Amino acid sequence: MSASRRGATAVTIVGAGPVGTLLALLLAADGQRVRLFERRADPRTGPAERGRSINLALAARGLAALAQAGMLERVRPELVAMRGRQLHDRGGGGPLLPYGLRPDELIYAVDRARLNTVLIDAAARVPLIELQFGRRAVDVDPDDGRLSWRDAGGTVVTEEPAGLVVAADGAGSALRQALQRRGLLQATEDPLAHDYKELHIPALAGGGWPLEPHALHIWPRGEFMLIALPNPDHSFTATLFLPALGRDGFEGLADPAAARAFFAREFADALALIPDFDAQFAMHPQGKLATLHCWPWHARRVLLAGDAAHAIVPFHGQGLNCGFEDCVLLARLLAQGSDSQSACMQFERQRRANTDAIAAMAIENYREMRATVLAPDFAARKQLALELERRFPGRFIPRYSMVMFHAEIPYAEAQRRGALQEHVLDALLAARAGADSAVAARLLEEAGL
Ligand SMILES: Cc1cc2nc3c(=O)[nH]c(=O)nc-3n(C[C@H](O)[C@H](O)[C@H](O)COP(=O)(O)OP(=O)(O)OC[C@H]3O[C@@H](n4cnc5c(N)ncnc54)[C@H](O)[C@@H]3O)c2cc1C
């Protein structure tokens, strides 16, 4: 029986977001006693935050982690399957480009707050998990794990030393800052010059879908884009990604009339579906995006996980999927019975190359979504990649598919193979060879694939 099963390792998790809560469930399933601190009120009793709904794409990695925690069936009613990208040109038309080769190669839209609430609801029923809301962590002593938190009245309380403290308190992590103040890690944010704003597209008056439901909708416009993901109630959550500055950036759209004119010019079909556009545009917050570069993630009794360690931009739809992968690995390492220090060191070592890889691929995917999809050869290139997968199963899996549908392929390996695949696709397109099996086989051989 492992040390953890004997109850020797107590883990304190700061942040009952999706990563902190899933980690608590996995650890408790292994018999560990977990304390989970959250600064917000209990989401099961309070109102949802408006204009910050964040509709996520969950893919194989996230689904596998949920299944491992026994949560997939509980979450399933919240999911809407998406089988491809539905493009919208300025006239409102455009193709639906399938994501994968097989009918089960789907990604799933889910509301982050709903997903989080389902996980919290499950955690609250587990006796080994002690959930505490309204506690904002403000400091941690990495030597003994002594944690200080502030309650709603502003009183700061310092806890008795905890076991391992896992900071799952998101991209703005207070605990990461506490370690940084002590010179124990270096963290920099690489801000994106583009911000985002969410808009709600309601279901039709009779309850029908306003857009094709089983697709991720994209209005690519080169320097900016609008996307929309479906919700189970037949509404959509749309997100505008736009430069922060400039006349055609958020700066130039401060006046509601300017924002409306911009939408009428660029996204007329979407505008027609948002009856209260002016109010939404004025009221909903403008969010910032950045890639976090942080190292190390571990200092004595404290470990960072999820966005607190490696927040990325959302364009590959992988931030949470990646955070859920963290949970599975960390729970496995802690369950193996080695001491928590070596588990943390192994966690860092195994995750770093992969989180760096998905951070880079997420930035690249922004260009693809807003601009490259408009290139005349984009659809042909995607088709060719899928055709190669059909003819060379297992040997050629398009990079997007490796990231989204193949949880068994680490991100760093997907990035490495993806770079080699680009040369093969370039050569086949240049030679106008299509997916000629003999030529393709030679090129794959030469590329080492
Ligand atoms: C616009 C947008 C779109 C996205 N789309 C996708 C997508 O399609 N697919 C995908 O996989 N990912 C996506 N992401 C990323 C995803 O939202 C994050 O990766 C994920 O939420 C990270 O989970 P987390 O639990 O680590 O952090 P968070 O979700 O940020 O949760 C942190 C938790 O800690 C709490 N907390 C914070 N500070 C403290 C404190 N001091 N004390 C106590 N508690 C604290 C917070 O209240 C919160 O509950 C998107 C992100 C954005 C912004």
Main-chain dihedrals φ then ψ at residue 205, nearest 5 degrees? -55, -40
For residues 54-69, average pLDDT: 96
Which atom of ligand 1 is least distant from the CA of 149?
42
19: CB partners within 8 A, 6+ apart: 168, 305, 306, 307, 320, 323, 324, 326, 327
C-alpha 341 to ligand 1 mean position (Å): 25
Give the pLDDT of residue 49.
55
Distance CA 366, CA 372 (A): 9
238-275 confidence digits (pLDDT tens): 999 999 999 889 999 999 899 999 999 999 999 999 99
Confidence of residue 53 (pLDDT cuts 50, 70, 90): low
What ligand 1 atom has the least distance to the C-alpha of 18? Answer: 25
175-193 average pLDDT score: 97
Q: If you ran DSSP here, which 8-state letter would residue 253 be given?
A: G
The larger pLDDT score, comparing residue 115 to residue 431, is at 115
Q: Has residue 408 got a pLDDT over 90?
A: yes
Residues in the chain, overall count: 449
Q: List, for residues 428-448, the tens digit of each pLDDT value.
A: 988 876 777 888 999 999 999
What average pLDDT does the structure give for the chain? 93
Q: Which residue has the higher pLDDT, 439 or 194?
A: 194
Tens of pLDDT along 2-20?
444 445 448 999 999 999 9
pLDDT at 47: 65
Confidence (pLDDT) at 51: 47
Q: Is the CB of 137 under 6 A from ligand 1?
A: yes
Hey, what are 395's tokens? 């040997």
Please tell me the predicted confidence (pLDDT) of residue 379: 84
Cα 312 to chain centroid, rounded: 8
Residue 283 has pLDDT above 50, yes or no: yes
Residue 404: pLDDT above 70? yes
The amino acid at residue 129 is I
Identify the band that residue 177 occupies on the pLDDT scale cut at 50, 70 and 90.
very high
- What pLDDT, on the 0 to 100 scale, is given for residue 160? 81
Q: How far is the CA of 254 from the centre of ligand 1 (A)?
A: 27
Counting from 1 in the atom list of ligand 1, the atom nearest the Cα of 320 is: 11
Which residues face 14 on adjacent strands? 37, 167
> 41-50, 78-87, 124-133: which range is least confident on average?
41-50
Query: Which two three-digit tokens encode residue 382?
Result: 């995607």
pLDDT at position 9: 46
pTM value is 0.95
For helices 60-68 and 319-335, what crossing angle results, to 10°? 40
Question: What's the pLDDT band for 374 if we cut at 50, 70, 90?
Answer: confident
pLDDT in tens, 321-353: 999 999 999 999 999 877 899 999 999 999 999
CA 120 to ligand 1 center in whole angstroms: 14
DSSP letters for 97-150: EES-SSTT--EEEEEHHHHHHHHHHHHHT-TTEEEE-S-EEEEEETTTTEEEEE
Mean pLDDT of the 26-38 span:
95
Nearest CA to ligand 1 atom 27: 170
Q: How much is the pLDDT for 437?
A: 83
Question: CA separation (Å) from 410 to 132, 299, 399, 433?
Answer: 34, 25, 11, 31
Tell me the pLDDT band of 1, cut-offs 50, 70 and 90. very low
418 and 433 in contact (C-beta within 8 Å)?
no
| pLDDT (average), residues 361-390 | 89
CA of 384 to the centre of ligand 1 (A): 36
DSSP 139-158: EEETTTTEEEEE-TTS-EEE
> Is any atom of ligand 1 closer than 6 Å to the C-beta of 18?
yes
- Given this model, what pLDDT does residue 162 score? 72
Task: Extract the tokens encoding 193.
Answer: 């010059």
Rounded to the nearest angstrom, the distance between the alpha carbon of 377 and the centre of ligand 1 is 36
The pLDDT tens digits for 293-326 are 999 999 999 999 999 999 999 999 999 999 999 9
Query: At 89, is the pLDDT very low, low, confident or very high (cuts 50, 70, 90)?
Result: very high
